[in-house]
Amino acid sequence: MSKTAVIALGGNALTRPGESGTCEEMQANAREMAASVDAIIAAGWRVVLVHGNGPQVGNLALQQESTTLVPAQPLAILNAMTQGALGSIIVRAIDEVRGPGSAAALVTHVAVDQSDPASAVPTKPIGPFFDPAQAERLAAERGWTVRPDSGRGHRRVVLSPPPAQILEIRAIRALVDAGLLVVAAGGGGVPLAPAPGGRAPAGYAEAVIDKDRAAGLLATRLGAQALLLVTAVDRVRLDFGTPRERALGTVTAEEAARHLAEGQFPPGSMGPKVEAALRFLREGGQLAVITTPALLAATVTGTGPEQGTRIEPATSPAGRSR
């Protein structure tokens, strides 16, 4: 029986630090990503890929606000636009490696849980970085909420409610069963607000869903064996930015949960990744990985001299962190 891995690729992997986000830049980055994904497929896995869109959807929102010639669209529709654009770039990159028709991108709608208290607090960074003075001016002019991000400046932050239901799950499963690499739930999916008193989605939500949480939900609904969270660091760090900083290799879910409870993983960066990994393992997943594209295959297979962070459900009496 084929194994399935859901890979969550950050929007920053397609628009890297120092880049402006041109189509040519995103295409070049997608080609590098495609080689890493191909190595996972070569190791015997079926792959579903979820991409982020933080830089891209924020840039698109700025474009919308810079003109009065055409009406601005709501944030949920901008999510749909980035799904189409980034999905096309990723599919073309995969096809260059594996041959035309190897991949398919599906615009995916995701109902969100607006009852979660976290849904009322803007936490999701989008768009470019600004210096503090720029950020303060834009926040005053446009009604934004801005916060420091990653020590690189300030960014706009928007609401990011937890995903609750993936509407196109049957279509995604059918494409996976047909042998295609599927790009789905891009940017976390197009967020839909449930109708009052009912389960059916009523309309678009002004939010951006965290793509790691969406990938975890998708992996669980598909019955995937692995959830692979791709980031800019080779391993998860404890005491990040301090003299005590250290990396995590292979750890149990219990260890990772303890570090999370101790506040080791910030909510705007590594926190959602670890939360998604733990939720996936609690709901029957076998392996969660957090690492860079270059170390992805080695970490999944457990081979090679350099590996990223593996989180496993089983407890080992010897302790697994290394």
- How many domains does the chain fold into? 1
How high is the pLDDT of residue 226? 97
The arithmetic mean of pLDDT across residues 205-222, rounded, is 95
- β-pairing, 109-112 vs 163-166, is antiparallel
Please check whether residue 312 lies inside any domain of the structure: no
DSSP label at residue 190: E
How high is the pLDDT of residue 198? 60
The single residue of 211, 216, 285, 308 carrying the catalytic annotation is 211
Please check whether residue 147 lies inside any domain of the structure: yes
Please check whether residue 139 lies inside any domain of the structure: yes
Please check whether residue 137 lies inside any domain of the structure: yes
Of the given ranges (96-105, 162-171, 274-283, 300-309), which has the lowest mean pLDDT? 300-309
12 annotated active-site: yes
Please check whether residue 184 lies inside any domain of the structure: no
Please check whether residue 153 lies inside any domain of the structure: yes
pLDDT tens, position by position, 261-310: 999 998 767 888 999 999 999 999 999 999 999 999 999 998 888 999 99
Owning domain of residue 152: 124-158
Beta carbons within 10 angstroms of residue 142's beta carbon: 12
- β-pairing, 145-148 vs 154-158, is antiparallel
Identity of the amino acid at 130: F
The single residue of 59, 216, 273, 308 carrying the catalytic annotation is 273
How high is the pLDDT of residue 320? 45
273 annotated active-site: yes
Please check whether residue 52 lies inside any domain of the structure: no
11 annotated active-site: yes
Which of 230, 219, 210, 227 shows the shortest CA–CA distance to 176? 219
How high is the pLDDT of residue 322? 43
Please check whether residue 25 lies inside any domain of the structure: no
Q: Is residue 141 helix, strand or coil?
A: helix
The single residue of 59, 79, 124, 216 carrying the catalytic annotation is 124
Kindly tell me if the per-residue pLDDT of 99 is higher than 80. yes
How high is the pLDDT of residue 145? 93
The dihedral sign for the CA sequence 267, 268, 271, 277:
positive
Kindly tell me if the per-residue pLDDT of 248 is higher than 90. yes
3 annotated active-site: no
How high is the pLDDT of residue 317? 41
Which residues are paired to 191 by β-bridges?
Answer: 110
Phi first, then psi, for residue 314 (nearest 5°) are -80, 145
Dump strand ranges (E) for the chain: 3-9, 45-51, 103-106, 109-112, 124-130, 145-148, 154-158, 163-166, 181-184, 190-194, 201-204, 226-230, 237-238, 246-247, 250-252, 287-291, 309-312
Kindly tell me if the per-residue pLDDT of 200 is higher than 70. no
How high is the pLDDT of residue 95? 96
29 annotated active-site: no
